[in-house]
Amino acid sequence: SIPMTASLASILGQRVTEGLVVSKAPESGQSSRLSEDIESLFASRSITSIESSHPVPDKRSVQAGSEMLNLALRVRKWEEAGERTLVFVLVSGGGSALLAVPAPGISLEDKAEVTRLLLGCGANIHEINAVRKHLSSIKGGHLAKAFFPSRIIALVLSDVMGDDLDTIASGPTVPDTSTWRDVKAIFERYALLDRLPKSIAQAVEDGLSGIRSETPKPEDPIFDLCSTMLVGTNYHAIQEAEQRSKELGYNTLVLGSRFSGEAREIGKVFSGIAQDIILHRTPLCAPACIIAGGETTVTLRGKGKGGRNQEMALSVLNEFDHFSRSVRPGLERTLFLSAGTDGNDGPTDAAGAFADVGALENAHRLGLNPSEFLANNDSYAFFEEVGGLFVTGPTGTNVCDIQLLIVK
């Protein structure tokens, strides 16, 4: 959000009257995300910067969301407010957690507990956001409603597979197509109905009975003055990776940008592809580069630390460990990487991890069993010991994850 805001502020110049940018607070030990140049730029344009929480919202998220709604209220009070007032809304990954004003009658703690339950059971981003929108005063088109009758242009970086505008950051400026019935179905799918906080369970029942209103739908006139468009996606990132791979001389194959499902299962797929390239020169002969993207999930079974990309890399390495002797020589020429394009993977300081024979040999030397760490969802600790963590720091963008499999 910071790079997007800085770029737009530079373009618009003094035509910017006021602004607010909300970004993820830096991890412990990391420096502020604002450079001196950006701080100076924001000050000259009356743009306030607030740090918030991700992936689980906290009181900072509520403060940030409240400040955003207060900004909308101030804009609506301007004498010239209306269609002649132009509001730019810049949306990037993490918006669902960064701006969190719970709907009336719902506490932040209860909403956060629902988020934790959904993350822990392997719910995908579409399901999580459908729930979030119905428990929010900002998501699901409510932000567009707050700024009405101003005209809105929303520019979106997609961190969601399929690039559904009503899902990215839980769709603050687009109509919501999900319903309370969908919300209940999601809770039923993951056997969560009996584990919900009382306020959430009551909200679902009130929504189904019509006591609690639905999110804004496509026919609402507020969307006649609101244009929302994509400016960056995972597919764009994969296209750039493909071009660079070919420039480096690799035989290149793009598998797609919609990989989903359990990270460890997708890891098995990539290890199988590596084996086919080594043994059968299919689907490509070496030097080969296989590229994919998307966003996987992790169902928590253990008490370890890691993220979906590190777990996928650990799954690949675990499969490498069981390859037959005929494949082992080819592993010397094989490297796998899974990483988040935002530089963040789960509650860690890493973007993802590499899997190669060097990490596997280090594990054997240290007496570490990849399968045991995988069973405990402890991928970060494993790669911290054997080497292989991919640490970039914040990249300034977020368009899901990318996977690279290279066989030289």
Q: Write the pLDDT tens digit of every residue in 320-366.
A: 999 988 888 899 999 999 999 999 999 999 999 999 999 999 999 99
Residue 308, pLDDT > 70, answer yes
Which long-range contacts does 11-17 make (Cβ < 8 Å, 24+ apart)?
12/45, 12/88, 14/45, 16/45, 16/46, 16/47, 17/46
Which of 41-45, 72-76, 138-142, 170-174 is the least confident region?
Answer: 41-45
Q: Rounded to the nearest 5°, which phi and psi values hold at 58?
A: -135, -165
Task: Tell me the pLDDT band of 166, cut-offs 50, 70 and 90.
Answer: confident
From its phi and psi, is residue 306 left (phi > 0), alpha (psi between -120 and 50) or beta? Answer: left
pLDDT of residue 45: 86
Residue 224, pLDDT > 70, answer yes
Task: Tell me the pLDDT band of 394, cut-offs 50, 70 and 90.
Answer: confident
pLDDT of residue 81: 67
Residue 313, pLDDT > 90, answer yes
Rounded Cα distance between 383 and 356, Å, is 11
Contacts (Cβ under 8 Å, ≥6 apart) of 5:
19, 21, 42, 47, 90
Angle between helix 125-134 and 108-120 (nearest 10): 160
Can you tell me the mean pLDDT for 171-184? 95
Task: Tell me the pLDDT band of 211, cut-offs 50, 70 and 90.
Answer: very high
Q: Rounded to the nearest 5°, which phi and psi values hold at 377?
A: 50, 45
Q: Are 297 and 377 in contact (CB under 8 A)?
A: no
Can you tell me the mean pLDDT for 168-195? 95
Residue type, 400: C
Q: What's the topology of domain 235-407?
A: glycerate kinase, domain 1 (3.40.1480)
Task: Tell me the pLDDT band of 79, cut-offs 50, 70 and 90.
Answer: low
Task: Tell me the pLDDT band of 31, cut-offs 50, 70 and 90.
Answer: low
pLDDT of residue 37: 80
Residue 35, pLDDT > 80, answer no
Can you tell me the mean pLDDT for 155-183? 92
Residue 244, pLDDT > 90, answer yes
Task: Tell me the pLDDT band of 82, cut-offs 50, 70 and 90.
Answer: confident
pLDDT of residue 55: 75
Residue 32, pLDDT > 80, answer no
Q: Rounded to the nearest 5°, which phi and psi values hold at 251?
A: -70, 120
Can you tell me the mean pLDDT for 39-46? 88
Residues of the chain with CATH 3.40.1480.10: 235-407
pLDDT of residue 28: 63
pLDDT of residue 368: 98
Nearest alpha-carbon partner for 344 in 390, 312, 377: 390
Architecture of domain 2-232: 3-Layer(aba) Sandwich (3.40)
Residues of the chain with CATH 3.40.50.10180: 2-232
Residue 209, pLDDT > 80, answer yes
Q: Are 377 and 137 in contact (CB under 8 A)?
A: no
pLDDT in tens, 363-376: 999 999 999 999 99
Residue 24, pLDDT > 90, answer no
Mean pLDDT of the chain: 93
Q: Tell me the percentage of the chain whose pLDDT exceeds 90.
A: 78
